[in-house]
Structure 1
Amino acid sequence: MSLHSVSTHYPYSPGRTTRAGPSWWDRRATGGSRGRGGSSLGPGNTRRGWAAARSCHFVRSPRPWRPWSHTEPRPAKRGTSLPRPRPRAGPEPPGRPLGSPQLLPRRLREAGRRAEGRGGGGPARLAAPGPGPSAGRRLGGEAWGRAGAAEPPAAAGSRAEPVLPAAAGGPVAVLEMAATAEFNSVRSVAEVPEGDDAKHVFHHRMFLEPQEEKRNLKALMVKRAKETCSCTPAKVKDCVFSFFPILQWLPKYKLKECLLGDLMSGVIVGVLLVPQSIAYSLLAGQEPIYGLYTSFFAGIIYSIFGTSRHISVGIFGALCLMVGQVVDREVQRAGYDLEAATVHAHTDTVTHVNTTVVPLNQTSQILLCDKTCYAIRVGATVTFIAGVYQVAMGFFQVGFVSVYLSDSLLSGFVTGASFTILTSQAKYLLGLDIPRSSGVGSVITTWTNIFRNIHKTNICDLITSFLCFLVLIPTKELNEHFKSRLKAPIPIELAVVVAATLASHLGKLRETYGSSIAGEIPTGFLPPRPPEWNLIPNVALDAISIAIIGFAITVSLSEMFAKKHGYTVKANQEMYAIGFCNIIPSFFHCFTTSAALAKTLVKESTGCRTQISGIVTSLLILIVLLVIAPLFYSLQKCVLAVITIVNLRGALRKFKDLPKMWHLSRVDTVIWIVTMASSALISTEIGLLVGVCFSMLCVIFRTQKPEAPLLGWVAESETYESLSAYKNLQTKPGVMVFRFEAPLYYINKECFRSTLYKQTGVNPAQVKAAKKKAAKRMLRHKEAGSGGNQTSISLELVSEPLGFHTIVIDCCAVQFLDTAGIRTLKEVCKDYKEIDVQVLLAQCNPSVRSSLIRGEFFKEGEDHLLFHSVHQAVDFALGAQEHNGTCASKN
């Protein structure tokens, strides 16, 4: 390694330059004595010392040298850092002799002593001192000096490079050995001007040594297989503890610090969850008791498998709606009326009083249950399949699927689903007895049926709905407005449910006004039952979207609150957790679950510390299931519908955020609007698919026509920025810097080519065509013997210089190249080369470099066209052009 590599690490080491010129160390290493006397390179040879310094040190920017003042501070005491000299105008100071090793930084002195003590060979060790010019290493060249070896002859017409003496204990030797020992990862080469390669003398190339090649895929797979299949007690223990996180945090549970907060948050969430579970059961097309079952099992199972301490897992409106649509479709396909019906099947006789005979199913067996029984079987089956999908995604570690669901897409989907939920609950508000619509355009169909039957509105249900809205909405607003002052939110939903149940029971609203009520809610648990395997082909496709939505919402909420409270969650373990929250409860007559934002916010704000809070919530629901559930017999369905609609306020409020979202990102706003509209007007499943496809198209469109500006140089720096975005930028004469801010692949290859031609103002194909046309015209006129003067003038006009000789393409934003991109780069370089314009590439990442090498972009000896920085490429272009001009003038 040469001396100038040290300059990138030590601010006052050789090679560092300032606005005023080389540093004190440069002159210390190359000049003579302060007053009279000679330099270390020979008596009075100060000028040659400066030439050596300029030839061997890496200059960061091509700034002109300015002389320093004679009154330059001397170094401080031994072992201390050197003060930075202030630049002053004045004549060039006389040289200084090489100082003793104590003037070097302590780190370099120690490294030099270690290198000398080892006494080994290699590039860090200089040749032994002796007579002859080959006693030391030639600085600024490629070859090392060898003792007794003849020094390579200098190129014809060039000055002989100075050779520094390699004294055994001198500071130059110490500096050389220390620099090589400390910074062996960077290799700097100064090309020797020899023959056609003389143009490279103006640029000191810096090459980075690549890492060792990675193992091939087969060896990597074998290694992974051995690591996976190996079984040790410690590994088994870690596997069990990671799969059951409760075994990690439960033994460390701090009763005094966490128990009170967990108890309070668990009770409050349970009080809110009981009425919502009953209300959301109607949304899923199930009886109220099944919503309580779902909330009970989800809380306990997630506490065992989950890694988040704060999210509340249970029923979620959008998923309940998606499950309800599948249930309605399958119930109708099985031959059940969408209204209440009961089938009494007997082995010997069939009674047809108030019954509906069910046709044969796909297995040619008679269904021995009524509509509600068949509905929960469908719901449990789709829940089981969704859970299997989620566990499979966790096993194969494909959690990356959720990255395709952006925040704007999820927000738009939830808002669109909220419209569908509101539409499905509107008939309960009015007390209308109309069938539930499903499929494409269900929102429009439902509102059409509502307006057709508006004259059948039940006045009792309408008044009850209005009174419940009048109580719930203001109280919910107060809870949100004063949440910082309230220790716990007011359980207004539970109070409304209790009051409405008492009013309905005491006023006999069903018998008197025909109000629709919840009906009988049994106590205890039904015996477990496996899913209907013959229904799996019918619901397997629907379960995919349900599984992805449930996982995406759960993981996003868990990561949000984990980041807020300073702990980490595992995305794949969250997949397992939410998957088992669907698989296990599906055997106990439950439907799909996921995390819910509203209940999670309540849980976090009321002092939740661990997953014990979820267990407390489940215990409270268990008490309701065993004791209190039958008391909700007289509860009106319109009250449950009001609770469901009021809880949609958060999703519907997203319309207020549209102006701000439009100001931040118009593309995200369009994605939100498209997803919301398709989810509301078409269907939730199709809306989700439309949103994903549209967001991907937006990404493709962004890369199809990216920004591609010309860059200018920021004065007194090595930075290049967009000329269209910033003022006061400078351009280098004859060099144009172009940046393409997207990957270069088959979609945007033509955009790259056309934008480059437009920004540079030169289309090589047109220039070549114009030259050929002018040459043919001149040939015809010569043959005709007339118009030679005009033809020569037109040819001169065509042959005018282009105004630039080099194009530097900044590839810092090009993440990857495909075959079409590599071919496009080859064609561009070839076209510009034919009109005497050189194309250089700068700041290519390792992936792009590898693609260029595999695509044979560089011919033999052309790898110098690839640079690690734009500044290096520009310096190379300017130096090469200056050298070519000098050679042309000599010729």
Structure 2
Amino acid sequence: MVTETSNLLHYLRLSEFESKYRVKTQAQPVLKQLQASINKRIARFNIKESLLSFFPFITTLRKYKLKEDLPNDVIAGFTAGIMMIPQGMAFAALSTLPPIVGLYISFFASLTYFWFGTGRQLSWGCVAVLSLMIAGVLDKYDNKVNEGKILNSLDTAARPSFLFNFTNTSEFSNQNMSLMPENITERSSMSEKDLRRIEVASGVTLIAGLLLIFMSMIGLSRITNLMSNSLITGFTVGISFHVATSQLKGILGIKIPRHTGIMSIVYTWIGVLRNVPNTNIATLLTSVISIAILYLVKTCVNERFRHRLRVPIPIELLVIIIGTLIAKFVNFHKDFKVDVVKEIPIGLPPPKIPDLELATDYIGDGLVIIIIAYAQTLAMAKTMGLKHNYVINANQEMFASGACAVVCGIFSGYICGASVSRSVVQDGAGGRTQVASLFAAGLVLLVIMVLAPFFYHLPMCILSSIILVNLLSMFQKILEIPKEWRKSRYDCAVWVCACVATIILNADFGLLAGILFSIFLVALRGMLTPIIETGQIHASAGNVELRSVNRYSDIAPLKDVRIFKIKTPLYFVNADIFTSKIFSKTGINPIKMKKQSQTYIVKNNDSGKLDQAIALDVANTEHLLEKNPLACLKVLILHTAEVSFIDLMGVQALQFVITELSLVGVEVLITDVPESILPMLKSTGFLDKNSDRLYLSVDAALASTITQLNSRTDVLSSGDSVL
């Protein structure tokens, strides 16, 4: 019987299990490992699968059903395209670039995403948040120009061709279609400034796109894991406050300087309040009427009857058309001093690499912007994929985002992404595949090639009104804070921190503050609850669960044995807290007992060993129990199944607990060691040193413990009988 029990315990130890079942591998040099990895990839490489993965549209077209999919894609594409036109112009104005840039982006981004994207219902183009962040980059450039660090003038011979020369179809009429206005002497400097700023934005976009493509090729698509949904939402809401604030001057028709950096939103509001008496009444009335019409139709018609309307009313486009006609016939610009869009060139700009030297100072800004664009796009793609039951390839989406940026950078655009509002509308209109993007791009192309001059008299305040109304859905997320708080206080705290930091510190520092706060909360959660005491609950026959002794009843008592579960990774952040929690929860502090023993030795001039003094303290069990009844402990079991990783300080903390508690007569056993931390335990020598303490499960450790305690009891009882 004893032999069977010993054999059972023999195989329940982790060391024996590893030696019996683990596949033994020999360590290879790094170069050989790299070569083996490359050979494995080459062996698995398949040209057909690679092409289908790199060009997802091939799979889409192969499975395309003309009778079922085409009508839906046509309707959805034209619906999204109708929204692209006003939003593209409005968001381009938000970026402080000419409105035509927004149409370029809408066309080229939609076309590029069709080739490389995996999201079938996504509508690509200008996004308010990204446009404002690009405006921040251009503000930095303007500041350098004003300080004289950069020349803003362009030599005629050195002007990039894409800035001034358009395709043959891009000639303007002799009236209001010329690129340069009639009074060249008064406006030529402003024109050069705008053109150079387009080149800066394009250069930043091109470099950021190339970097994102490189990141996708080396598999860094998981970088967005650093940004939770709560962080992205809070950051986006914070940016929305900046977007809305930037449109106040357009709504009121006033002139105030742009502010950048920390507290810029406060300075902007101060400037707005000071200039309220200078409000242009005609501009204000136009804005109020536009906002009222847009809001009422969007909420009371499109939203309320969305299940009945196959296609939502394109109220934004209607407001632009009607507003442009009224402004032209009433002569808003000359008679009422209302700012209008003015000249818009016809045709597409030819491809041209921008002057990258202008963008070198803003590569970091561009990388932050494009990562945010990718994160938002990936989240939207996953949402649509779950809804329509198809798989999203994160690496391919990163490549597609980079490709869209590269193409837009070559064609006078800036960083863009998938629009949430347009994607929802495209999906609601019945969009089935990426083919809908082609029809949307075709509609935008029609405007660029033919209808662009029509928008000469479009009031800028209408574009500002469109932006404000589109931001209402973002501001409504603030009302969800109490609900988020009830769901998760940690996530809600990240949401609020990212939002407030973005509002106060501006976009770059706000995002960084949100990421750092998220990391801090992760570390804090590990520091607050590294361990909990657990006990066994016999839920059913043969089914035993480990649960917290503080939160569950009917815990089966274990004499002289306590079980602690380590709930977090064990690393430098919580290593010291882990050891202090162990000592406080067991009621035994070996360090304090050492100090008391040393004091005892000094007072009695005893030259004996310190270990003997500690043994004397342990022998006085009755005195220890009087101080802390919980200290009656002989075996401590550490359940490590939830320790996802461990570092050197974590290993040292474990060894410290084992060593210190052993000195006071408490045996420490470790169970359920995850395979992920075994290499660290082995490389530090922990496995070899403590092989007799490591068990496969809590049940195995308890079986060994009970056997040992019973054997000790038998020995003691037999000794008493002899005496």
TM-score by length of 1: 0.71
Match of 2:298 among 471, 476, 498: 476
Aligned to 1:538: 361
Match of 2:658 among 792, 808, 829: 829
Aligned to 1:561: 384
Deviation at 1:240, TM superposition (A): 2.6
- AA paired with 2:309? L
2: CA distance between counterparts of 1:842 and 1:226? Answer: 39
Match of 1:326 among 137, 151, 154: 137
Aligned to 1:213: 25
Match of 1:746 among 568, 572, 576: 572
Task: Name which of structure 1's ranges 381-390 and 770-779 shifts more when overlaid on structure 2.
Answer: 770-779
Query: Do structure 1's residue 398 and structure 2's residue 220 form an aligned pair?
Result: yes
2: CA distance between counterparts of 1:669 and 1:759? Answer: 31
Query: Do structure 1's residue 252 and structure 2's residue 78 form an aligned pair?
Result: no
Match of 2:85 among 264, 274, 279: 274
- AA paired with 1:495? L
Task: Name which of structure 1's ranges 503-512 and 710-719 shifts more when overlaid on structure 2.
Answer: 710-719
Aligned to 1:756: 582
Gaps of 5+ in 1: 1-54, 57-138, 143-187, 193-199, 359-368, 781-790
Aligned to 2:229: 407
Query: Do structure 1's residue 808 and structure 2's residue 637 form an aligned pair?
Result: yes
Deviation at 1:759, TM superposition (A): 1.1
Aligned to 1:105: none
Task: Name which of structure 1's ranges 306-315 and 521-530 shifts more when overlaid on structure 2.
Answer: 521-530
Change in 2 beyond 3 A, CA 1:569/1:214: farther
2: CA distance between counterparts of 1:776 and 1:334? Answer: 76
Aligned to 2:268: 446
Aligned to 1:222: 35
Give yes or no for contact 1:413–1:687 (8 Å, CA) kept in 2.
Answer: yes
- AA paired with 2:523? I
Asked which structure has the greater RCO (Cα within 8 Å, sep 6+), the reply is 2
Change in 2 beyond 3 A, CA 1:887/1:445: same
Deviation at 1:650, TM superposition (A): 1.6
Deviation at 1:352, TM superposition (A): 10
Deviation at 1:814, TM superposition (A): 1.5
Query: Do structure 1's residue 429 and structure 2's residue 251 form an aligned pair?
Result: yes
Q: CA RMSD in A?
A: 3.0
User: Superposition pairs for residues 161-560 of structure 1, below 5 Å?
Assistant: 189=8, 209-213=21-25, 216=28, 217-228=30-41, 235-335=46-146, 353-354=185-186, 370-478=192-300, 479-560=302-383
Change in 2 beyond 3 A, CA 1:330/1:845: same
Larger Rg: 1
Deviation at 1:372, TM superposition (A): 1.6
Q: Deviation string for 1:410-458 (max 9, x for gaps)?
A: 0011101101111111100000122222233221121111112111100
Change in 2 beyond 3 A, CA 1:670/1:214: farther
Q: Deviation string for 1:448-499 (max 9, x for gaps)?
A: 1111211110000001111111111121113223222221211111111111
Give yes or no for contact 1:263–1:613 (8 Å, CA) kept in 2.
Answer: yes
User: Superposition pairs for residues 708-727 of structure 1, below 5 Å?
Assistant: 708-715=531-538, 717-727=543-553
Give yes or no for contact 2:530–2:574 (8 Å, CA) kept in 1.
Answer: no
2: CA distance between counterparts of 1:485 and 1:619? Answer: 27
Q: Deviation string for 1:745-765 (max 9, x for gaps)?
A: 122111111111111111123
Q: Deviation string for 1:575-616 (max 9, x for gaps)?
A: 111111111121211121111111110011110111110000
2: CA distance between counterparts of 1:793 and 1:732? Answer: 21
User: Superposition pairs for residues 673-684 of structure 1, below 5 Å?
Assistant: 673-684=496-507
Deviation at 1:795, TM superposition (A): 5.9
1: CA distance between counterparts of 2:592 and 2:581? Answer: 15
- Structure that is richer in helix per residue: 2
Aligned to 1:47: none
- AA paired with 1:603? Q
2: CA distance between counterparts of 1:219 and 1:547? Answer: 36
Match of 1:648 among 462, 471, 480: 471
2: CA distance between counterparts of 1:491 and 1:354? Answer: 38
User: Superposition pairs for residues 562-601 of structure 1, below 5 Å?
Assistant: 562-601=385-424
Deviation at 1:345, TM superposition (A): 6.2
- AA paired with 1:427? K
Q: Deviation string for 1:544-600 (max 9, x for gaps)?
A: 111211111111111121122111121111111111111112121112111111111
Change in 2 beyond 3 A, CA 1:536/1:845: same
Match of 2:705 among 877, 880, 883: 877
Deviation at 1:744, TM superposition (A): 1.4
SS in 2 for 1:718: strand
Deviation at 1:686, TM superposition (A): 1.4
SS in 1 for 2:339: coil
2: CA distance between counterparts of 1:794 and 1:493? Answer: 85
Deviation at 1:854, TM superposition (A): 2.5
Q: Deviation string for 1:198-225 (max 9, x for gaps)?
A: xx99x99977622343764443311222
SS in 1 for 2:364: helix
2: CA distance between counterparts of 1:370 and 1:312? Answer: 32
- AA paired with 1:513? F
Aligned to 1:661: 484
SS in 2 for 1:140: helix
Deviation at 1:354, TM superposition (A): 2.5
SS in 2 for 1:370: helix
Give yes or no for contact 2:247–2:468 (8 Å, CA) kept in 1.
Answer: yes
SS in 2 for 1:680: helix
Give yes or no for contact 2:290–2:462 (8 Å, CA) kept in 1.
Answer: yes
2: CA distance between counterparts of 1:854 and 1:600? Answer: 51
- AA paired with 2:85? V
2: CA distance between counterparts of 1:804 and 1:323? Answer: 64
Match of 2:432 among 609, 622, 630: 609
Give yes or no for contact 1:774–1:794 (8 Å, CA) kept in 2.
Answer: no
Deviation at 1:851, TM superposition (A): 2.6
2: CA distance between counterparts of 1:505 and 1:668? Answer: 51
- AA paired with 2:343? E
1: CA distance between counterparts of 2:234 and 2:363? Answer: 25
2: CA distance between counterparts of 1:390 and 1:300? Answer: 19
Deviation at 1:250, TM superposition (A): 1.5
Gaps of 5+ in 2: 159-182, 607-615
Deviation at 1:797, TM superposition (A): 5.0
Task: Name which of structure 1's ranges 489-498 and 476-485 shifts more when overlaid on structure 2.
Answer: 476-485
Deviation at 1:799, TM superposition (A): 7.0
Deviation at 1:386, TM superposition (A): 1.6
Aligned to 2:179: none
Aligned to 1:140: 4
2: CA distance between counterparts of 1:625 and 1:356? Answer: 23
Deviation at 1:859, TM superposition (A): 5.5
Match of 2:560 among 734, 740, 743: 734
Change in 2 beyond 3 A, CA 1:531/1:869: same
Give yes or no for contact 2:530–2:578 (8 Å, CA) kept in 1.
Answer: no
Match of 1:838 among 648, 662, 667: 667
User: Superposition pairs for residues 27-176 of structure 1, below 5 Å?
Assistant: 55=1, 140=4
